[in-house]
Each structure stands twice: as C-alpha cells, then as structure tokens.
Structure 1
Amino acid sequence: MNLSGTFRRLDPFSIAAFIVPLFIYLLTLAPTVTFFDSGEFITAIASLGTAHSPGYPLFINYAKPFTFLPLGSIAFRVNVATAISAASACYGVFFLTLYLLKDEQGAWEARLGRLSARLCALSAALTFACTARLWLQSNHDKPYPLLAFISAIVFWLMLLWRESYLEGRERPSYVYLGAFLVGLATGAHQIIVLMIPTYAWLLISADRRVVFRVKEFLIAFAFGFLGFGIHLHLVVRALQKPLLNWGDSKNLTQFLWNLLRKGYPVEKPPRDLGLLWAQVNAFNIPYEFTIVGMVLLVAGLAGFAVTRKRYLVFGYLIALASFLLVIVGYFNTPGELIFLTEEFFTPLYLLSAVFIGVGLFVVLREVGSHLPERSAVRGALLLPLFALPVAVCAMNYRENDQHQNYIAFDYASNTLRSLPQNAVMYTWGDSGAFPLWYLQGVERMREDLALPHTPHLVFDWYLDSMPVLFRGSRLYTLPMDQRYPENTLFLSVMEQYAKRPVYIDFSTRYSVAFQNFQLHQRGIIYRLDPPDFPSATLDSDVWGLYSTRGILGGSDMFFRDLDTGKAILIYGAALVESGETLLKLGEKEAGTRALDLAGRVSPEAGQQALQILRSYGVR
C-alpha cells in the first residue's frame, strides 16, 4: 500500500476546513454541563434514554459512544461530540462551495495555480465556523450542527443525481440515500423537512417529467421511512426504563404524544408588525456574517442567477421561503420565546455560507479580470480572502468562550450542598432542574435526594418515573383538565411534608404563593415550615460551602447567556435577602458581608443592598 501517494493526494484545504474549526471549538469548549437543555440532553445520552419531545434519538445515539472517551467528565465528552459535528458542518460548507465552483474555474483561476476556488471555499467554511449561531451550538451539547451537516450531504447527493441525469446516466441510488438521510435526520430535529422543497426542486428542475416517476418516489419514501425508524429508539428504550425516559413512549399513544410535541401547548399571540419583525429577525444574515457577508451572499446569488446555474439560486430562495413560512408564519412564536427559534435556521445558515463562498469567488474573478494578465496584484488578491472569517472570529470569540463556564455546574452543586439528608426539593424552571438531573443521575451526587420538577407533575409518565416518591399519590386521581403546575405542586407538597424535609428552589419561591407555610431561606433555596415556626431564623452558614466560580466581578469568564445571567441575579437576590435577614437578627457584621458580596455578584442587587445598608445606618 503506497501511503506516501495517499498523503500526497490529501487536500490540505479540506483538512483545514475541518481541523481549524474543531481547534477553535475545543479551545472554547464548555468543560461541563451548561444551562438550557444541556443537563437533560447529557442525562439522556449517558443513559441512552429519551430527551424532551421529539426525543432526539439520532443525536443521542451519535453522542453516546463519546461518553466512553477516557477524558474529562461525561458532560465534557458529549460537548466534544458536538464540537466534532459542528466542525463537520463547516467541512460541508467547504465541500459544497468547491463543488458548485468546479465548473467556474477558467483561465483566470488556472493562472493562480487553481487556488482561488479552494481558498474561497475555505474562507466560507471558517466564516461559518465563527458565526455566533454555530459557535454557540458547537461548544456544548446541541443537535443542530449534526443536522446541518446531514442537510449538506443530502444537498450534495441531489446535485450528484442531477448531474448524472443530465449526462444521460440514471443514478436513483443518490435520491434513495438522500431520502434515507432525511428520515434519519428527523432524529436530530424535525426541521430537516423544511429542506425537502429545495431537494425536490433540484430534481424537478433537471426535468419536470420526474414528477411522474411514481415508482421511484415510492421507493424514496420507503427509504425515508426506513431512516425515520431511528425513532424506534423511543419505544425500545422506554421498555427498558432508562434514567431519563421523557414521555415514556411505551405504546403508540405515548409515542405520538412525544413525537408530535403534545406536551408543549403554546397559545399563539396576536401578531402585529413589531412581533412579525422580531420573528423574521430570528434569521439574521448581517448579524451572523456581517454586512460584508450579506453583500457577498447577494453577489454569489447574482453571479449564478445570470448563468445556467440559476436553479441553485431558486433552490436557496425556496429554502428561505420554506423556513420563514413555517418558523415565522406557522409557529408564530411569542416574543419572549423567539430566541429558541434562532437555532432552527442552522441548515439555512450553512447554505448561506456556501453562497457567500461563491460570492467571494465571483468578486475576485470580476476584479481579477480587469487587471493585467501578468500583474503581481492578481496574486495579492488572494491575501485578503480570510479577512471576513478573522473579523467574525474576533467579534464572537469572547462571547462564545466557555472554557471556564462552570456556572451551571456550580449552581446545581451549590443547591445540592444546601439540602439535608433525604430531603425533597421542588424545581420550576428547566435550567434550575436539568443540571441537577445531570449531577444526580450521571455524576451520582446526592442520590438520597428527591428532585421533582413541578411543570412535569401534571403527567402520569413523569409520576411513574419516580415510584418511590409518587406511589399511591393522589396526583393520579386528578382529572387531566384540573392538573396545573400550581395545584399539583401544593398537593404533592402536602403528601411529602409529613415524610421528609421539603424545600423549593428560588424560581418556585417567586412563581407560587405558599400561604400555608413559612419560607425560611437556606442559601439559594427555601425550606417550607409550618405557620407557627419561629420566623426570625436563617441558615446562613451554607454560603461558606458554595463555589462562586465565574459569578464575581473579577472573574475572567465572560460568557453570559440568558439563564447564566438569571443564575447570577438569583445569587445576588438571595444574598440581599440573606443580608437583610441577618441585619434584622442583629448580626450586623455577617449581614454587611452578605450585602457587600451581593453587590460584587450583581450590580442590580448592589443597588438594593446599598439601600438596605443605609436603612440600617450602616456605611
């Protein structure tokens, strides 16, 4: 075997399109669990279970082998899996860009040693790698980069079929493989179906008569259904009762409930122009690629619009219309939840990056064609090709550097440190619950505790998952139309109160009014006590057990997402409450320390702390 010949055939540009993004992602990788869905995803992956609807079985099975790597925590290993899938998506941009430009390399490109197309493709890949959206998805567990990579592969397969068909060669296997991958990709996220109109256009635009090939379309549908079979993971694993078994898809009813996201009924808001504009801006090319990237995208589309490749321009516009009509038009997401839809556009951003690479090539070709043939400036034109990815990287590096992001891990571990043996604590928000699931279920911390999640108490499948806590519970007897988080919480608390210490987290404290209990603070959580319990009590020693990495003003950790910011505000508000209580108890020194720390954690809390200190005559 001639290894030297093999290495000589390796394209260093294609290698760089994968390795450079991967290096950036590993450099900024989150070392452990983060907020939002992170703790839930990692717990599902570690137990080979089912995440929240629609289950994400492909992403779970893709990431599971990485959990056996002999480095870091389980969370870190899953984050590595995501970084690799994101780097693969960047390679998809390089490969597609180069494929679209293969017939555009004329005499001008030849005189430059056939470098221009490869360099443009590499620049597009690196620009895509450093966009805020993909970068944020790359350094902790997310399924969307994997989805984007598959969407690029299917796009390429449709182009292969089209090329072979126009050359008089039938290659239906390309379509069948593409259909299988689309079905499989629904196990990463169902938004892959929004790319189907574009894939269909690539076929139909070659010859409209292909729509009459019923047999081939039925075979393609069968292959798509075969790929969709990845969702049997939900059923098979539900029967095994894994650690995380969202929706318990043990029968057809529960399977469809999970697949169709029936657990997330959202009342659609009345739409005005302001909300519509905010929804449309969830897809934002200038924000992700800068104004220069937007100009290059237009140049790439315009460059192909006047050639025989205009079908590619229509394909992009069809994808754009498909995503906007469904995500903006049909979903009609409430304003406070629009940020959740931004990730859905990742496959469309990948396709945009491809046309930005094309636009870069078009601009270089047009400028170079007006220069003297032997001008040294021709070669110099290649030098600024990487100005765009460098600029985008510089803009987004600091905000996406998570290599010191321990805030979610510490918030969850601090919560666990606050609880006595065999306590039960009710959580409310997902970001307050999911890191706890990871620490207890995967890292095996504080397995003596029960941590029910209040919004899920309305579901029988969730009660079934905690038989020790809910066996024989009256919650099962409540009719479904009478199950609301508040009343199921109160009923469950009354059942548990006589058996074990009952606590609630900060979010629950400020979401529900506990009129029949006194709430006594213990750090960032609260103990429920009877009304006649002495009110002037405080467990202040728990603050000394807390880890505060990344939350003090002098920290080098800059990364702040929405829930990280909320966690910091919770620390600040809890310290203010603790400090004020200590002052009431006459513990002036301890109260002042707590209020001073509150100001160091959060400027908002600092203003409130200053007012409290003044009211007690403390300078």
Structure 2
Amino acid sequence: MPADCRYWLLNDIIQRMWIRLWYLVVWLLPALALGLFSGRVASETWANVYEPRAIVAMTFTALTTVLALLMVRPHPLSETWPLLMMWGYALYPHPDPLVWTAVALLTAVCFAQMIPLPALPERWLARGGLVGTAVLFGALYLLTIAPGLLPADNGEFQFIAAQLGVAHPPGFPLYTLLAHLMTRLPIGDTAAYRVNLLSVMTSTAVLLLVYQTVWDMTKRVWASATAVLALGTATTFWAQATTANIRSLTALFAALALWALVRFYQETQASRENPTGATVIPRSLRRGIPTTLDAGIPHSEDFVRNDKPIPRSSAFARIPPKDRWLVVAALAMGLGVSHHLSLTFMSVVFVIFVVVVDPTIVKTPKRWLRPLLAALLGLLPLLYLPLRASTAVRGASADLATWSGFIEHVLGLGFQGDFFYFTDPLTLGLRLGVMGNILTFQFSGWLLAGMVIGLALLLWREWKLGLLFGLSFGVFTLITAMYRAPQTVEYMLPAYVPMVLCLGYTARYVGQSKSSRPLIQLLTASLFTAVLFQGWSHWPSYWQMHRMEDARDYAQNLLADAPPDALILANWHWATPLWYLQEVEGQRPDVTVRYVAPGADPYGETWAQEIAAAWGNGRDVIATWYDPTTYANLPPPEPLHEAFWFRQQPRTTLPANFTPLGANLGENIHLLGYLMDKPTTEIWQEAVLTLAWQPISQSPNLPISINAHLIGSDGRSYAQSDLTVSPQPGGITLSQFRLTLRPGAPPGDYAIRVGSGETSTAVTTHTVTPMSQPPITQHRVYRGASTARLLGYDWDYTLPDQPRLYLHWQTADGYVTEVRDNGDTTLPSLTGPWGVSSNQWAVSSEQGQHYVPLGQGIIWIGDPISNLAVSPPPISQSQTSLLSQHFTTTRPLWRDYVVSTRLVGYEADGFHWAWCDLVDYVPAMGAIPTLKWIAGSYITSPHSIDYTQESPTYETYCQSVKPAPGAPVLAVSDTAVPGQSIGGMVTLYDAFTQRPLPILDERITAQFPWIPLGQTTIAP
C-alpha cells in the first residue's frame, strides 16, 4: 500500500476514533452528572433510614446512574449541557440541601429556557405575565399581610384613614382618600386590616408596572419575571406591601413615570427610524388595529408600521404617541410630588432625560402644555387639606386653610432641618457606606451584581435609558443619604425600582447570538435562582409577623388595665395605636392619651416634667417611656405590662391573676405572689416574672436589690435578671423580671428562684422548650448524628484565651444549641457525602471570629478594637480609624434598640478610666432600625475613631461634641499619651425604656456589663 494511502487511512481511523470518543464523552458527562447527582441526593435523604448506609448509597447511585445513561443517550449535548452543572454537587465535599437545591434549580431553569414559548401574539404573553404577577404576589402578600393594628406612622395612617383626618406633614391626602375608601369595603374584621390591604394593592401594581416596563424593553418573560421577583421579595418592599404605609404609593408613582418614559423613549426612537412619516404603533398598543409591515421602511423590532388611516376621533390623532407618554409621566410625577416631595428629585432627572431623548421639545413650547396640565392635575389631591381644616378630626387645623399654614404643612417645613443633614465629608462618607448596607439588606449579592451588569449593558447599548435609570437611582440615593430619615430603608423604596429594571435588562441582549446562548441562559438561570432563594429565605419572617399583632396586644392591654380617668403619656410609637383603639374602636374613652413630643429640653426631662405635672394634679399617670436618671425624683412607678404606672393610691391587694406565695425572703422582703406571662418559653426567648412583695425592714423606702434566676436540672443558672428597686411608699410593690434563656440552655423544667443578698427561695417551675426556628450561623453545616442533625457552628474569641464553640443542632422537637469552652471540638460520628457516617470531619478553628448572643435573637459578630492592634498601632493623629459594629438576628424584631459604643482611655493600672467618649445611635446611623430587621439580616453600624490635635469639647461626661451633626465619631482625648492603652465596649438598649438588652454569655456578664471590644494603644 502506498505511503500516502496508509497516511490517509490512519488519519481516517484516528478521526473516527475521535468522533466516537467525542460522542461517548458528550453522552457520559451529562449522564453521569445526572446519575451521580440524583444518587447522592437520594442517598443523603434516605440512606440514614436503612443500614448499612454505604450499601444503600451505592445501590441508589447505581440505579440512578443506569437510568440517567438510558435517558440521556438519545440527546445531543446542545440539549443536555445543563446537566453538566450537576457535577458541581456530585463533587461537592459537604452534604448541603441548599447547595443541591440551587444546582437543581439552575439546571431546571436552563432547561425551561430551552423550551420554545407557544406561538402566541406578544400581547398575550405580556398579559399572561401580568396576570401571573398579580395572582402570585397578590396571594403572597395576602398570606403574609399584617393582621391589624400597627404602631408609629403605620398606626397613624390607619386611624387617619378611618376618620378622614390629616396625617403629619406633608399630609398624604391622596393616600388618605384611597385608604378611607378601603375602610368602607366589607372585607376583614377591622379598618386597620383594610388599610393594610391597600398596600397589597399598590405594591402589586408596582410589580405589574415593573413587569410591563421590562417586557417593553426586552420582550422576554424570564427577564420580566426575574425583575418582578427580585423587587417583590426584597426585604423592605415585602414589609411595606403588607403594612399600612405611604412608601408603596411613592414607589407606584415612580414606577408609572419610569414606564411612561421608557415608552416615550421607544416612541421617539421609532419615529426617527420612520422618516416617511407613516404612523408607527407599538405592538403592545395596537389593540386590534390591522397592520402591515413594509419591508422597505426602517422600523424597530418592537414597533410595526400601520398604513391604515386612523380616524380623526381616535386618541392617536389628537395626541402624538410620544407626547401621550409625556402626559402620563407628568401626571405620575404630579401625583407623586403631591404625595411625597422626595420624588421632586427624581422629577428633575426625568426632565433632563426628556430633553436628552428629544431636544426639539425645548423649541416647541406648545408640547409643554399637556404635560404641565397633567402635572397640575396631579396636585389636586392637595385641596383635601384646606377642605378638612375646620373639621373636628385628628390632625386638622385652621391653619391649613391659610396659605402659610398650607405651605408649611405640604412642604414639611418642620422637617427642613433634616434635609441635607449629613453633608460633612467624613459623615457623608460613612453614610454612603450605610447605603451599601441598605442594598445588601434588600437584595442578595447575585442580584446586585446583575443590576450592575444590566446598567453597564444599558449604558453600552441604550445609553439614554442607562442615564435615566442610573441617575434616578444615584440622585435619589444621594439625597436620601444626606437626609436624616429615621427609617432610610423605607425612604429608598422608589430607588429600588430603576435597580430592578436594570436587573431585567441583563437578560435582554443575550440570545442574539447562538454561540453565547448557553452562557446567557446560565446567567439568567443564576439570577432567577437567586431571587427564588431570596424569597424563600425571607418567607419565614413575614409568615411569623403575619401571625402576631404586637401593637394591638400592647395598646389594648394598657387601655384595659388602666385605672379610670388615667392619663397615658406615650411616645409616637405607641401613641398612634392607642389613639386608634380609642377613636376608631371606641375603647376606654375615659382615658386620656397624650403624645409627648420632643422639645428644646432633653427628652427625658420633658417626660419627667409631664409626669410630675399630671401626677401633682391628682391623676394616675402611665408612661410608655422611661429614663432612670430624669425620673429619679418621681415616685417609684409600678410596671404595667411594658409601661410604667405612677399611682395615686397604693396597691393594697394582690392582683387577681397572681399566684399567692406568702413567704419571706431573708429579713427584708415579704413575698406575696407572682405572675408568669406564659406557661412555657423557648430557648433564646424572654420569660417575664412579675413579683408582688412588701419590705419588712426598718427602712422600707431604701432601694433593695432583688434578682431572679432560671435554674436548670444541673443546678446552673441559664437566665438572670437583677433589679435595684425602690419600694412603693405604701402598700404592695410589683417588680418585673425579664429572663432571657441563653443559647446552650437544655429543654426541660426549670426552677425560678428569687434572691436578695445571700438568701434566695424557689418561687415556681417553668418549662423550657427548644427553639422553633433555627439560629443564624456563620458556618452552615448539614450533617446528621444518631439523634440530631448538626446545622452549623460558630466560634467566639471575644474574651482573650477563652474560645467558645456554639454547635447548632436540629432535634425531633426543634432546635437547640450546644456550648463548648476551652477549644473542645470532639464530635460524634456524623453523616458525610452520600449519607455515609464518618469520624473524619471536624469543625475548623476560626481564629478571631465573634458570636455573642443578645436578647431578642440579636447576635454581635464584631468588630473589636483589638483588630486594630497591628504594628505600628493605628490610633494616631495621622489617620482616622474605622470601628464598625456588625450584627445579625435570628428572627424579626418588634422593638427599637440603640447601639451604644464607648471608647475608653485607661490609667496606668489598665483598669481605671482616664477619659472616655460615647456614641449612642440607632443602628447604621439611624438608617436601619432594629424593628425593620428580619431573620438573617446583616447590619453594620460604622464608627470613626478621631484623634486630632484639637481638644474635643464635651457636652456631658463621656460624650463629646461631634465634628458634624450626626457623626458617629469617638474622640480621643487631648490628655491621651503615646503608649496609653485604650479600649472599646458596646451595649444595646431599648430606645423607649432604656432597658439594656441582656448579653447571653455568662463568661462576659461575670466580668463586664457590656461586650468588651479589646484593647490597643496610642501610637507614639
């Protein structure tokens, strides 16, 4: 055989071998991925039921692999490539249901995108998506809607709507009218519930507009669905969608304006692509008008040419299409600005966008008329305010009928000091960092990345839309960052709309080239999976909040137990639900509820003056706010639920719901009875013991120290509350002990012991149950033992040389935490991959990690000041150091807590203080209050350590005058010397009662009343 023939024959054989090998690989790789993945998931789910586990796992895997090989063989790689992602979990070193669920969802979504949509008209697909959005989120929000009465502004909107009153500036007249209409519907049991229902409607409407806007930009179902799911399950949007609030309506007007401007942009682009002047109608607007495509005339893929004459009476003939959308946008902004002035800043961006898209509008003033009239029409709801000025409803004032009073109310001039509050460069820089935390508080990191990609694509492909969305978000965020808003997370709601529009656009330019289609489908699937996980992680918190009515319980109990003709002094948080119960439901009209507003004097002094004046006039006074310092000269109050009752007459009999005791505690206290707030308490929850007693000493008016403990069967104390109580001048004294069971407490029956000095006595027993929800952990695990499953672990190195390990277990009855000290990491045999037990896995030692549990499910996770102790020491006059405090929580919170951070310079003995400075702030510079947190929220409260050559000025002891209003700055004293030890400490306390949040680590509380942040030194 000639050499050239042998060469060609050999080449042909090699090619055939490579082809066979290729077909074998493209068959085996996806098939084995599916088989091994399915076998592993099945084994980890069911192998623990049967023995021996290894044999069971191999059997499951063999069966699934054979089935996968048979299923995949007839299909080419172009149809099976999504299965390759299953290798990710098949080779993953740890068992983890979340990981395999994510892989399965990614694969399923990629396959779903490969299924061709039915050959239906685009408008049918769009309408189908809108219907699906309305049904899905309408049902979701109804399932998680707040059941009734709410506190603070939310409660105000509920009773103002029921009465057709006037809300606090700027008045929100349109919202009040709409909410009042809702109260007339025969739905639900209370007006409060019906007002909550309005938020379900407005929030669902926002999502419908988002879906339609993304559809108009992309014509892709997956893109629209991803944007809607991302916004609809965002932390604050979901919260606002289920509670009475004005933010959802603000977002609605922003979304409506953005949709109209996108359509204006598309109409303008289409008119430029149609130089013949023939009418061009968007597909979504044809509504049955017959059309034909003229291949000779340029047109956008989103628009079609209409050659048929349009009757003169139609809207298309009266108003040019693009100008019609300007009218819609102007009406939306008119309504929006009349609703809340914050949309004014977005309106400026919108005007700039209109001029950029169509510069000819500047030279044609006639085109301004209709938008201006529409904007003025949107201001008509403001007439409600002067019309209600003379009515006898709450909030109404005769001043509203005057120009000065009307303008002051509508413009909110009383809050003008809050605008542009954070403008100092240092403070604004910290505040902008907080805005980033707000975004991570709302959305997962994957979604934020998708939004950035979408904005970049818009700026590349359609830069004018990128300008619209980017500036809308940027300007609104900057203004909000500089505004001293008590709940910045809610103010930001309109800014989330352009963000999710960018997210939806991320999937738009894909699929235009077949070579890039798998990568794009994977990107789209990743984003879609991320939004599903976001919704799934947020669901338990909102379901839990749906089942509780905290504001009604607080206010109704307070009214029910108030003495006749009592005066209740309330802060804003509790004043509004109390007013609602009185004025809407008619409860306890004999009781007076008065709001104590902040004034020129310190707030505590204002409260003390109000209480002293009313009590001196012979009235029983109940206060919802407490300050132990300013109340020192007042009579000792009696606890009334969570409030404080300043009685006129002493209590002479034991309350009817108390259990009698009749025992002495040492020589000073006679115990009369007790009341437990509930029969059982979960671990990490609070049990409230109210003790009735009388002093029996010779000096009955002197303060007495009393403590209460929950003692486990092992004799250890797992919850403790210490009080120094001034007894009532006469009669019976009631003292309230709040006992929070720390993680590590075993379930079972506990003894409640009350003590004073060296003596104590058993009062009753109390049942402790496992947690009903898993605790948050920084190291998620999923490994089963014989009777429990390990779900995670956390290390705490807060105390030097005293590491503590928290092991979080799931049992048949719930969730418990095991606490280990001194580095003990021994574990029982745990299941690993494929559900096979092994002793090989061990927890890793995370040096420098922090995990300090606090009351109400809050966890402090860093940072200590000792982290700054590097060489050379960083605390010097040449730089500013950042000391940020990080928190998370295991459940949604119902109370407002303040973070108190202190910087201390020590004497030479390292114990006594030479100087100190303090910053007390609602978390994240007031932007993310704790009562907005849900399970899994991660919050950062930034603080700056400022060491300058100028001597700091101090307002009071340990509290310096800050270099700028609102600056969370800890000042180093001018008496500090090189080499001096300085340390930090942090505590949290209730913003209303000043009650410290308990630290649930007995090692720390045995040494400090705060969380120690370690020490460093002053640089030379």
Q: Is the structural similarity TM-score above 0.5?
A: yes
Q: Does 1:63 align with 2:209?
A: no
Q: Which amino acid aligns with 1:314?
A: L
Q: Deviations over 1:330-351 (max 9, x none)?
A: x2x3xxx5x5122122121111
Aligned in 2, Cα 1:440/1:508: closer, same or farther, shift over 3 Å?
farther
Aligned to 1:22: 138
Pairing 1:291-302 to 2, within 5 Å after superposition: 291-302=445-456
1:585-615 CA distances to partner (integer Å, 9 max, x unpaired)? 79xx9988998994456769x9xx9785675
SS at match of 2:145: coil
| C-alpha distance in structure 2 between counterparts of 1:56 and 1:280, whole Å | 31
Q: How many positions carry a matched residue from both structures?
A: 539
Q: Which letter maps to 1:185?
A: G
Post-superposition shift, 1:46?
Answer: 0.7
Match of 2:550 in 1: 407
Give the RMSD, CA atoms, in angstroms: 4.2
Question: What residue number does 2:386 align with?
Answer: 235
Of 181-190 and 38-47, more deviation after overlay is shown by 181-190
Cα distance change on mapping 1:224 and 1:610 into 2, 3 Å: farther
Give deviations 1:313-358, integer Å, cap 9, x for gaps. Answer: 11122113311332223x2x3xxx5x51221221211111111111
Could you tell me whether the CA contact under 8 Å between 2:390 and 2:398 is conserved in 1? no
For the pair 1:127 / 2:230, whether they are aligned, the reply is yes
Instruction: Render the CA deviation track for 1:100-150: whole Å, top value 9, x for unaligned.
Output: 114xxxxxxxxxxxxxx1122012101210011201111111121222122
Between stretches 517-526 and 21-30, larger displacement belongs to 517-526
Partner of 1:261 in structure 2? 412
Following the alignment from structure 2 to structure 1, what is the Cα–Cα distance between the partners of residues 376 and 353? 21
Q: Could you say what secondary structure the match of 1:240 adopts?
A: coil
Q: Which residue of 2 aligns with 1:436?
A: 578
Instruction: Specify the code of the residue in structure 2 equivalent to 1:354.
Output: L
Q: Alpha carbons of 1:414 and 1:542: their partners in 2 closer, same or farther (altered >3 Å)? A: farther
Give 1:618 deviation, angstroms: 3.0
1:78 paired to 2:225: no
Task: Report the alpha carbon displacement of residue 451 of structure 1 after superposing the two structures with TM.
Answer: 0.5
SS of 2:761's equivalent in the other structure is coil
Matching of residue 282 in structure 1 with residue 454 in structure 2: no
2:198 paired with 1:45: no
Change (3 A) 1:310 1:9: closer
| Structure 2 match to 1:112 | none
SS at match of 1:11: helix
The answer on 1:506 being equivalent to 2:624 is: yes
Amino acid at match of 2:506: G
CA–CA separation in structure 2 for the residues paired with 1:8 and 1:546: 63
Q: How has the CA–CA distance of structure 1 residues 397 and 272 changed in structure 2, closer, same or farther, with 3 Å as cutoff?
A: farther
SS in 2 for 1:52: coil
Q: Deviations over 1:220-248 (max 9, x none)?
A: 33432331221121221222222443796
Task: Provide the residue aligned with 2:501 in structure 1.
Answer: 354
Counterpart-to-counterpart distance in 2, 1:36 and 1:143: 13
Check if 1:515 corresponds to 2:515: no
TM-superposed deviation, 1:448: 1.5
Higher strand share: 2
After TM superposition, give the deviation of residue 404 of structure 1 in Å.
0.9
Q: How far is 1:496 from its partner?
A: 4.8
Q: Does 1:313 align with 2:456?
A: no
Find the counterpart in structure 2 of residue 223 from structure 1.
Answer: 374
Change in CA separation of 1:315 and 1:8 when aligned onto 2, cut-off 3 Å: closer
Q: Does the 8 Å CA contact 2:152/2:575 hold for their aligned counterparts?
A: no
Of the three residues 319, 324, 342, the one matched with 2:489 is: 342
Instruction: Tell me how far 1:216 sits from its aligned partner.
Output: 3.7
Between 540-549 and 39-48, the greater mean CA deviation after superposition? 540-549
1:258 is matched by which residue type in structure 2? H
Deviation of 1:304 (Å): 2.4
Counterparts of 1:389 and 1:248, CA distance in 2: 49
Larger-Rg structure: 2
Q: Which amino acid in 1 is paired with 2:478?
A: L
Q: Deviations over 1:488-528 (max 9, x none)?
A: 76776576557663313231455842625453444433343
Is the aligned partner of 1:325 residue 2:478?
yes
- Structure 1: gaps spanning 5 or more residues: 103-116, 459-481, 559-567
Deviation of 1:179 (Å): 1.6
The corresponding residue for 1:582 is 693
State the alpha-carbon separation in 1 of the partners of residues 758 and 572 from structure 2: 37
Q: Deviations over 1:231-287 (max 9, x none)?
A: 121221222222443796232232222223233465746846466334443354444
1:245, 1:345 → 2: CA distance? 29
SS in 1 for 2:414: coil
Correspondences of 1:129-208 after superposition (within 5 Å): 129-166=232-269, 167=271, 170-171=320-321, 172-208=323-359
More relative contact order, 1 or 2 (CA 8 Å, 6+ apart):
1
Instruction: Summarize the Cα distance change of 1:602–1:120 in structure 2 as closer, same or farther, 3 Å threshold.
Output: same
Question: For the structure 1 residues 153 and 129, does the alpha-carbon distance in structure 2 shift closer, same or farther, using more than 3 Å as the test?
Answer: same
Mean CA deviation greater in 406-415 or 57-66: 57-66
Q: What is the Cα deviation at residue 33 of structure 1?
A: 1.4
Q: Percent identity?
A: 19
Say which of 99, 103, 109 aligns to 2:216.
Answer: 99
Instruction: Please give the secondary structure, in 1, of the residue aligned with 2:413.
Output: coil
Q: 1:421-440: CA deviations, max 9, x gaps?
A: 2222211x211211111111
Greater displacement, 353-362 / 273-282: 273-282
Q: What residue in structure 2 maps to residue 110 of structure 1?
A: none
Instruction: Verify the 8 A CA contact 2:454 2:505 in the aligned structure 1.
Output: yes
Counterpart contact for 2:470–2:498, Cα < 8 Å:
no
Aligned equivalents of 1:527, 1:380: Cα separation in 2: 62
Secondary structure of the residue that 1:618 maps to in structure 2? strand
Q: Distance in 2 between matches of 1:380 and 1:279?
A: 33
Higher helix share: 1
Q: Determine the C-alpha separation between the residues in 1 that align with 2:541 and 2:645.
A: 36
Amino acid of the residue matched to residue 589 of structure 2? Answer: E
Match of 1:304 in 2: 458
TM-score (norm 2): 0.47
| Contact 1:414/1:547, CA 8 A, preserved across alignment | no
8 Å contact 2:623–2:645 — kept in the other structure? no
Conservation of the 8 A alpha-carbon contact between 1:418 and 1:525: no
**1:19 and 1:87 in contact (8 A); partners too:** no
Q: From the superposition, tell whether residues 275 and 177 of structure 1 become closer, same or farther in structure 2 (CA, over 3 Å).
A: closer
505-514 or 486-495, which deviates more: 486-495
> Structure 1 residues 132 and 610, CA, compared in 2 at 3 Å: closer, same or farther?
farther
Distance 1:511 1:228 in 2: 48
Contact 1:293 1:388 in 2 (8 A): yes
Deviation at 1:393, TM superposition (A): 0.5
Residue by residue, what CA displacement relative to the aligned partner does 1:4-55 show, whole Å, maximum 9, x if unpaired? Answer: x9x9788322211222112111111110112331211101111111111111
Q: 1:522, 1:540 within 8 Å by CA — same for their partners in 2?
A: no
Q: Which amino acid aligns with 2:582?
A: Q
C-alpha displacement of 1:208 = 2.4
The answer to whether the aligner puts 1:397 opposite 2:539 as a matched pair is yes
Question: Gapped runs of 5+ residues in structure 2?
Answer: 1-120, 272-276, 280-319, 660-673, 698-705, 711-718, 722-735, 746-751, 763-1020
Contact 1:553 1:601 in 2 (8 A): no
1:404 maps to amino acid? R
8 A Cα contact 2:707 2:755, kept in partner:
no
